Amino acid sequence: MNFYIKTYGCQMNERDSEALSGMLAARGWTRTEREDDARLLIFNTCSVRDQAERKALGKIMHMKKLKRRNEDIIIGVIGCMAQRMGDELFTELPHIDFVLGTGQLHELPDLVAQLVEERGVVHRAMLTGYSDDVLSGMSAHCFDENTPPVFGSVAITRGCNRFCSYCIVPYVRGREISRPADDVIAEIGQLAARGVREILLLGQNVAAFGLNGVLTPPPEDVSPFAELLERAAGVEGIARIRFTSPYPTYFSQRLIDTIAAEPKICRAIHLPVQSGSDRILKAMNRQYTAVSYLEIVNRLKRAVPGICFSTDVIVGFPGETEEDFAATRALMEEVGFDNAFIFKYSPRRGTVSAKHEDSVAMEDKERRNQLLLDDLAARSLRHNLALIGRRVEVLAEGPSARNPQRWCGKTSTAKTVFFAPIPGVNPGDMVTLEIARATHMSLFAGNISDLPDNE
Ligand code: SF4
């Protein structure tokens, strides 16, 4: 029987969908990319913004026509919106069969089996409780037999205890829980045995791994996350380790020393800052100031020469003035971010900040958003031009999606490099290339000059 799964939102959701696909495949289901070819349709939803929910609701509403054509198909809504709305979804979408929240995703195969076996008896099912088993139950992976996997994602924590005033995550993904380190290392070992070379460790706050959800930053000599990184680096076959997202205040000296000492840990840190204004950071309930954030960045820069940073920023948070925005712009220039996810503030029902007036006009949000994007493009072009003539180590991924005549890969600093295929080099191999050309988005190796230019 075929199943179709559509994923909305973040890397955590992508990873959840991959694990669920692996679990269903182990029960004999086959994944299809076509809704009308599936007996089971799953929508893994996101609640980070109203718009994300509306998009999913619109899509699922369309599935009504498939149900009319075939009463036997099973439609389910899972993930953050399922957790937030619960049985309200049966009213909004009377044609769906189950609702499965973020805290019991690992129950999906049994829930579906029951709906299949008891078709006509059991009409609907809903699970929106929280169980720690969701962590260990979601370690399956599914691979395409034809293309050896170069990358693998591993979820190490779930949920969040920080309650930033604009964020819905703690309300829909529950309290922060960490997986046992042995489980994580075992999963990385399985991935390495399949040929995976680069691991992405995932969590809402990965740097809080193993700290049992405490809010206070760990002492400078403590970081269970650093210990996990050291063990992951020791797994044979693993060449690179990335992680997202860490909360700034968990960067103890222990963690910084581990990053500095272990070359497999990528020299690109995603460190969400959200704002450069202390007044706005306080209103966001972010537990640091611009100065303390910069202090963490500077400690990392001193310990790890050449390290690069990316971040998340919100413009137009309630009450944000031109001065606040200028502080954000100045901080971003001082850190020298190579990349950033910039969001225009939109109130999220159920969060603390949604109670405040959304006071910044949309045109100001758009202007500030564009200014930061322009700064970013100019800065990353400057940084990339400085790499011309330099030799960089690249993890080869294979033919580029847009131009299969070319190959692409990434540097440890998360920069994309395009190069001409090299005889004997396979996906997952490390190659050292000299950079000949650069744009603000990409780098081009010297051996590419004889290929047509349409990247
Ligand atoms: S740290 Fe803040 S922004 Fe990030 S998931 Fe937790 S509550 Fe949301």
Tens of pLDDT, residue by residue over 55-87, are 999 999 999 999 999 999 999 999 999 999 999
Residue nearest ligand 1's atom 8 by CA = 167
- Among 254, 283, 263, smallest CA distance to 356 is for 283
- Among 334, 332, 413, smallest CA distance to 376 is for 332
Residue 169 near ligand 1, beta carbon < 6 Å: yes
pLDDT score recorded for residue 455: 46
How far away, in angstroms, is 382 Cα from ligand 1 center? 31
Domains by residue range for the chain, with CATH: 2-127 (3.40.50.12160), 143-266 (3.30.750.210), 268-383 (3.30.750.200), 391-448 (2.40.50)
Residue 343 near ligand 1, beta carbon < 6 Å: no
Give per-residue pLDDT as tens, 171-228.
999 999 999 999 999 999 999 999 999 999 999 999 999 998 887 888 999 999 999 9
Residue 204 near ligand 1, beta carbon < 6 Å: yes
Residue 435 CA from chain centroid, whole number: 29
Residue 167 near ligand 1, beta carbon < 6 Å: yes
- Among 30, 27, 23, 24, smallest CA distance to 1 is for 30
The DSSP code for 102 is G
How far away, in angstroms, is 167 Cα from ligand 1 center? 6
Give per-residue pLDDT as tens, 308-332.
999 999 999 999 999 999 999 999 9
How far away, in angstroms, is 213 Cα from ligand 1 center? 13
How far away, in angstroms, is 77 Cα from ligand 1 center? 23
Which of 46, 83, 167, 175 has most ligand 1 atoms within 8 Å of its beta carbon, as the pocket-test mutant? 167
What is the rounded average pLDDT of the residues 432-455? 80
- Among 153, 157, 204, 174, smallest CA distance to 82 is for 174
How far away, in angstroms, is 368 Cα from ligand 1 center? 22
Q: How far is CA 302 from CA 253, 262, 272, 297, in A?
A: 12, 15, 20, 9
Atom of ligand 1 at shortest distance to CA of 160? 6
Residue 278 to residue 169: CA distance in whole angstroms:
23
What is the rounded average pLDDT of the residues 19-40? 95
The DSSP code for 452 is -
Atom of ligand 1 at shortest distance to CA of 163? 7
Give per-residue pLDDT as tens, 368-392.
999 999 999 999 999 999 999 999 9
**Least confidently predicted of 8-12, 140-144, 333-337, 351-355:** 140-144
